[in-house]
């Protein structure tokens, strides 16, 4: 996803001199072409994310489209006050780009586990929050946030993620993508969990259960119509996210269901992380399995949820 983002941004920046890329001294195995060919649109702010955010806000208020870039926790949680007061309060045209969402940097420990920032960014006034699922969504999301006239946060993976979509997609901020039809259950995923969602749906189909799969690439604004249609038409919902169950996709879907008209209750479960630091370090796949985010664990949760119908 990281490479898809950078390649797409480079194409856009060559055509639009307003686009400026600010890095917190990160990405120097992949950002050199941008730095070399567009030096007037490239800023290395150093390991000073608060300053980077302030610079980006100032440039945006001067007519630029500014993108800040670092490992997920650093351009968000480390400089949250600057994001809130400099970017959001002034409705500045700043795009916060986070690489390594969830457990992508799992071996580096809790300081590099980005498992709360989606919820934090959702709370920022005026902030659009996007978590693409694969390189295809990442390319489309990059174009969408650059075109959007205001604050955006985009959470990327790290590198090497496979394409989940088999072809071109119809991508629009705030509108979920339906990858699979189904009437027995809906799996709603965000970010890198889409591959697991599709795998679980395929396993369920072997047992005669048809699961709808939605890629909820935009957490804010959330596609509430897709959520309510899934609740109405499939009768059970399971959310999947590599993020705390507090504040992220599961919370957003629960809010929609809680405020929906009518007394009907449907089986609903959030699959995510507890509100706790991971006591383990290791690869992303290892930490997914340790936290019930692997396909086998999700499949068991889906089967348990179906029994509640």
Taking only the tens of pLDDT, the chain with its 309 residues reads: 999 999 999 999 999 999 999 999 988 888 999 999 999 999 999 999 999 999 999 999 999 999 999 999 999 999 999 999 999 999 999 999 999 999 999 999 999 999 999 999 999 999 999 999 999 999 999 999 999 999 999 999 987 889 999 989 999 999 999 999 999 999 999 999 999 999 999 999 999 999 999 999 999 999 999 999 999 999 999 999 999 999 999 999 999 999 998 767 899 999 999 999 998 999 999 999 999 999 999 999 999 999 987
- pLDDT value of residue 193: 97
Write the CB contacts of 206 (distance below 8 Å, at least 6 apart in sequence).
Answer: none
Position 263 scores a pLDDT of 64
Bridge partners of 205, per DSSP, are: none
**Is the Cβ–Cβ distance between 98 and 156 less than 8 Å?**
yes
Q: Which residues are within 8 A (CB) of 258 and not within 5 positions of it... i.e. 6 or more apart?
A: none
Q: pTM (2 decimals)?
A: 0.96
Is residue 245 within 8 Å of 274, Cβ to Cβ? yes
Query: What are the residues facing 56 on neighbouring strands?
Result: none
Rg of the Cα trace of the chain? 19
How does pLDDT run across 26-46, given as a tens digit for each residue?
888 889 999 999 999 999 999
According to the model, what pLDDT value does residue 13 have?
98
User: Among residues 295, 300, 301, which one has the least CA distance to residue 200?
Assistant: 295
CA pair distance 8, 162, nearest whole angstrom: 17
Per-residue model confidence (pLDDT) at position 29: 84
Contacts with 295 (C-beta within 8 Å, 6 or more apart), sequence order: 196, 199, 200, 203
Burial classification of residue 227, based on how many CB atoms lie within 10 Å of its CB (0-12 exposed, 13-18 middle, 19 or more buried):
buried
Residue 64 vs residues 41, 89, 98, 155: alpha-carbon distances, Å: 10, 17, 20, 21
pLDDT in tens, 207-232: 999 999 999 999 999 999 999 999 99
82 CB-contact burial (10 Å; exposed 0-12 / middle 13-18 / buried 19+): buried
Residue 94 tokens read as: 């700043």
Kindly compute the dihedral angle of the four CA atoms of residues 201, 203, 209, 213, in this order, to the nearest 10 degrees.
0
Q: Do residues 53 and 7 touch, judged by C-beta distance below 8 A? A: no
Q: What are the structural domains, with CATH classification, of the chain?
A: 2-155 (3.40.50.970), 177-307 (3.40.50.920)
Q: For residues 200 and 196, what is the distance between their CA atoms, to the nearest angstrom? A: 6
d(CA 120, CA 114) in angstroms, rounded, equals: 11
């Amino acid at each position: 996803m990281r490479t898809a983002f950078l390649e797409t941004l480079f194409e856009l920046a060559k055509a639009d001199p307003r686009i400026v890329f600010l890095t917190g001294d990160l990405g120097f195995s992949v950002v050199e072409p941008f730095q070399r060919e567009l030096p007037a649109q490239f800023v290395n702010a150093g390991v000073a994310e608060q300053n980077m955010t302030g610079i980006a806000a100032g440039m945006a208020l001067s007519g630029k489209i500014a993108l800040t870039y670092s490992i997920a926790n650093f351009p968000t949680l480390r400089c949250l006050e600057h994001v809130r007061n400099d970017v959001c309060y002034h409705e500045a045209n700043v795009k916060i780009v986070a690489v390594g969402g969830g457990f992508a940097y799992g071996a580096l420990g809790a300081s590099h586990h980005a498992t709360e920032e989606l919820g934090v960014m959702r709370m920022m006034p005026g902030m659009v929050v996007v978590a693409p699922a694969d390189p295809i969504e990442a390319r489309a999301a990059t174009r969408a946030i650059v075109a959007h006239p205001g604050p955006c946060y985009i959470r990327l993976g790290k590198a090497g993620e496979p394409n989940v979509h088999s072809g071109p997609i119809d991508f629009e901020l705030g509108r979920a993508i339906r990858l699979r039809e189904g009437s027995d259950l809906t799996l709603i995923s965000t970010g890198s969990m889409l591959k697991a969602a599709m795998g679980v749906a395929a396993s369920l189909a072997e047992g005669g259960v048809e699961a709808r799969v939605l890629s909820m690439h935009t957490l804010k604004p959330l596609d509430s119509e897709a959520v309510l249609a899934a609740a109405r038409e499939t009768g059970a919902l399971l959310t999947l996210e590599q993020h705390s169950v507090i504040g992220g996709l599961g919370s957003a879907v629960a809010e929609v269901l809680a405020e929906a008209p009518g007394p009907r209750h449907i089986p609903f479960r959030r699959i995510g992380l507890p509100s706790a630091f991971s006591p383990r370090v290791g690869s992303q796949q290892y930490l997914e399995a340790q936290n019930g985010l692997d396909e086998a664990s999700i499949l068991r949760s889906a089967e348990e949820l179906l029994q509640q119908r």
